[in-house]
Amino acid sequence: MTPIKELIPPVIAAAVAAGRATLEVYGQEFSVEEKADKSPLTLADKRSHAIIVSRLSTFGIPLLSEEGRSIDYDVRKHWETLWIVDPLDGTKEFIKKNGEFTINIALVRDQWPVMGVIYVPVLSHLYFAAKELGAFFMPVGAGMDLEGLSLEQLISKAKAIDVCSQNVRPFTIVGSRSHATPELEAYVSKKRKEHETVEFISAGSSLKFCQVATGAADVYPRLGPTMEWDTAAGHVIAECAGASVFRADDSGPLLYNKENLLNPWFFVSNGRH
Provide the pLDDT for residue 42. 86
- Is the pLDDT assigned to residue 150 strictly greater than 80? yes
- Per-residue pLDDT of 180-224, as tens digits, reads 789 999 999 999 999 989 999 999 999 999 999 999 999 999 999
- Per-residue pLDDT of 14-64, as tens digits, reads 999 999 999 999 988 888 887 777 678 889 999 999 999 999 999 999 999
Q: Tell me which CATH homologous superfamily contains domain 4-160.
A: Fructose-1,6-Bisphosphatase, subunit A, domain 1 (3.30.540.10)
CA 90 to chain centre: 10
Domains of the chain: which residue ranges? Answer: 4-160, 171-269
d(CA 131, CA 119): 19
- What DSSP character marks residue 263? P
The share of the chain scoring above pLDDT 90, in percent, equals 82
What CATH fold (topology level) applies to the domain 171-269?
Answer: D-Maltodextrin-Binding Protein; domain 2 (3.40.190)
b/e per residue 158-176 (b: at least 16 CB within 10 A) = beebbbeeeeeeebbbbbb
Q: How many CA atoms lie within 13 A of 114 on its CB side?
A: 15
Is the overall model pTM greater than 0.75, yes or no? yes
Provide the pLDDT for residue 26. 93
- Number of Cβ atoms within 10 Å of the Cβ of 29: 5
Q: Is the dihedral of CA 150, 48, 158, 124 positive or negative?
A: positive
pLDDT band at 160 (very low <50, low <70, confident <90, very high): very high
- Is the pLDDT assigned to residue 125 strictly greater than 70? yes
- Is the pLDDT assigned to residue 68 strictly greater than 80? no
Amino acid in the structure at residue 219 = V
